Structures are given as C-alpha cells and as structure tokens.
Chains A and B, each alone.
Chain A
Amino acid sequence: MLTKRIIPCLDIKDGRTVKGTNFVQLRDAGDPVELAMRYCEEGADELVFLDITATTEKRKTLAKLVRDIATHINIPFTVGGGINSREDVSVLLENGADKISINTSAVRNPGLIDELAKNFGSQCVVVAIDAKIINDKWTVVTHGGRTPTTLLTIDWAKEVAARGSGEILLTSMENDGTKNGFALDITKAVSKSINVPVIASGGAGTMEHFTEIFKMADADAALAASIFHFKEIAIPDLKKYLAEQKIPVRI
C-alpha cells in the first residue's frame, strides 16, 4: 500500500538551517547535511530544502550544498528558493536534487511550469503555493507571504496541475509557525480538486495534527520543520503513532 509521507523541511540561509515564525524571527537550527542525515536515519520519507537567501551570488553555494546532500542521503529530496529559469533547475538536478520547487516565479511566469515539466518531467516539478485568507477567501501570496496576488488558491492549484506540476506543496500562512494544526479546509479542497499529490505544510505542533491532515483532509504527505529540528516530535514516534491510527506509513 502506498504510504503517507512525512517530510521534514530545512530552511537554508547562508548554508545553515534556520527556522522562524511566519517567515520571520529566524533561529539557527544547525548544519543541513548533518540534520538531513539524522532525518534519513530516523525514517523521514523525503526532505525539502528551501533556500531563503537565494540571491544570485549565493546560488553557487546552494549547488555545492545540494551536491553535498546528494552524496550523503539515500531518500528523495526537493530543493526550492529563488529558482527562476530552466538553467537554475538544470544546475540543481545536475548536482543531485531529485525535484525542485518553484513558487513566486511560477506566479510571475506560469509558462515556466510547462517549460520545466516538458524538459525535466513532471516528476521533478513541485509547485509551492502559499495561501492566506484575504477578504474571507484563500488567496495565493508570494515572496514568502509578503505579497498578495489576485489568484484564488483552488484556481491556481488546478492551473499548475494542468500545466504539468507533479506535486503541490501547499502552505497555509495562517497556520505556519503557530503549532495549532494544519489548515484542513483548504488542504482538503485542493486535494479534491486535483489529481496530483498534495503536500500539506504549516501548523504542525502535535502528532494528532498529522492524523487530522491525513484522515480529514486527504493530504498525501505532511511537511514540518521546527517540531522536528528542535526534537519536539521524533519521526520514529510519530510514525509509530500514525500506524496505530491505521494510517499507512513506512516504518
């Protein structure tokens, strides 16, 4: 049986793992390669690395880090942050990334999704969608949540799936960093409206939150950062708990 995936996310700034609340107040959370290896050992199903510096000058450093990660871990990993072109993607894939994620650049230029899917295959294209409630509607925001758009989350999810995105990483900016649980309503609505896997992100604080997102919102995978980095929840404990809740997980 296909299992539900648990995905730790590592936000990277200047080659270090950091974590903040609602994308601000960053705390240092250690060396990304060491942390990645620890997660592999603990049974993480995949990893996501999000480079939040992502200036042109730093991109070379990122490629080096990606190569370092690729030579150390034996599970799939996605790299995102500041990817604007086919060339950016090519460099990351050549250095061993399995998938890349795009966010703001996809909103700015939706054709980029088609271009990447055509050239590298949908399996490596993850479109990250940051969603926030604006005027009572789940709206797409960009630039790490700072810039609102006119796109409705469901419409955008349908469009990116149609353009060839292989997976959708859906982050609720209302929930991110709160530890009060995932956004069940929008995750369920997105998952129902498209036929590609949805990774739910933002708000994980307890093991029960993971049960909810899988059982009540049909997420295919759940992503979290700080609860794993700071060892508030250990992945083996979480998976054991989910198995007891009759959720298929890889143990």
Chain B
Amino acid sequence: MNVVIIKYNAGNIQSVLFALERIGINATVTDDPLLIQAADKVIFPGVGEASTAMRYLKERELDKLIISLQQPVLGICLGMQLLCDYSEENDTPCLGMFDKVWIRKFKAADPQLKIPQIGWNTITGLKTGLFTSIEEKSYCYFVHGYYAGTSDYTIATTDYIQLYSSALKKNNFYGVQFHPEKSAKAGEQLLKNFLSLSL
C-alpha cells in the first residue's frame, strides 16, 4: 500500500510516520504533487497555527491539489480544521471541503476549563467505517484550542465546554480532531481502518 503524508510547515508529521511504522506501514512524507496524487491513501496531519499553514499550502499550490484528491484523505487535528471553510484562528479562509463548517475558538465561562484542551476525552456517536471495531466512548488524545461545531458531516462528537465534531466526513475526505497517532489502541485501530477503506 502506497501511503503518503503531506509534508508542510506543521508539527506531528514524524509522530504520524512512527505510528504507521508501528502498524507495519512505511509511508512517504512528501510535498511532491505527483507522488501525492499517485498515493492509495493520503494523510494530511498538522499541529500549529491556521493562517501560517494555509499560506504555506497556497504558496506551493497544495491547497488546490488537496481538495482535488480522489483517494481517501485523512486530515488530523489542524489538517481536519484546514479542510473546513474558515477558521477564527487569525481570521483564516481554509480549503472549504467541509463547506459551511467554521472553526471557532473555545470560550469557557469556567476558568477551571483550560484552553487549549489537552488530554484524553471520549468520542461518541461514531459513524462510518473509520470507526469499525472502535467502541463508543473510547478515549482519544486531544490538543486543540479551536473546534468545529456539529453538522451533517459529523461522524463523531466530543464534549468539552460544548458538544463539537471530533470527526467529519464528506465523500472521500475524513477529518479527526484528536490524534490517532497518540491515542493508544483506539488510535491504532482508526489508522488501520482508514488504510483499509475503499471508495
């Protein structure tokens, strides 16, 4: 299986690479359009800031390439957020695959609720083959200060400050807010599920 991780100026690419290695997959990290287009599966990771990441993608015309992809694509964390319409993080227009989905900043009335959310939280309302063999209320590892509200694209939800989308799907595009590469057994299962998706 030919798995490509899109290389750009965002963190956690190595972590994703190692997580795939642990399940026996040697992925290629690249920003070469031809290699990305030729892949069986594409992972669009990311930890970082939205406007900087979008600028980088545009400069290399990766923005158009990503939304034109036909094979299964998995956006992780910032990768998922960038697949949405817009992010409040530095007022950033994003790729628009998950249309009408806006990324908003967590606002907590209770100072006990720290922002960003860092740590293990549960995922519920699991839909689609991405969550095959993953139990409702499984724990996943989250690190984020911005969130996607719920919509028709929601395939998993999580509760922190309010209920929000912890996973989205539209056509061949999947996105997860948590880090499957760091989410122990549930995360490993999700990566395996993604790799075995067919169109």
Contacts and interface: CB of A to CB of B under 8 A. Distances in A.
B120 A40 contact: no
B47 A124 contact: yes
A75 interface: yes
B21 A250 contact: no
Interface in B7-55: 11-12, 14-15, 18-19, 21-22, 47-49
Interface of B: 11-12, 14-15, 18-19, 21-22, 47-49, 111-112, 114-122, 139, 141-143, 159-160, 179, 181-185, 187-188
A121 B15 CA distance: 15
A71 B21 CA distance: 7
A75 B115 contact: no
Given A75-B184, A121-B48, A196-B114, A221 B119 contact: yes
A129 interface: no
Contacts, number: 84
B22 A166 contact: no
A197 B15 CA distance: 22
B118 A167 contact: yes
B120 A250 contact: yes
Nearest to A193: B111
Contacts of B160: 2
Nearest to B21: A71
A95 B48 CA distance: 18
B163 to A, nearest CB: 12
Nearest to A120: B11
A123 B49 contact: no
B18 A71 contact: yes
Secondary structure of the B contact surface, majority rule? mixed
A250 B159 CA distance: 15
A197 B114 contact: yes
A88 interface: no
Contact of A197 (B14, B118, B181, B183): B118
B47 A40 contact: no
Contacts of B117: 2
B47 A121 contact: yes
A195 B115 contact: yes
B114 A45 contact: no
Given A1-B159, A71-B22, A250-B139, A95 B14 contact: yes
Interface in A30-71: 40, 45, 70-71
A208 interface: no
A114 interface: no
A96 B141 CA distance: 16
A170 B2 CA distance: 44
A3 B120 contact: yes
A196 B115 CA distance: 6
B119 A2 contact: yes
Given A120-B11, A218-B112, A250-B139, A74 B183 contact: yes
A15 interface: no
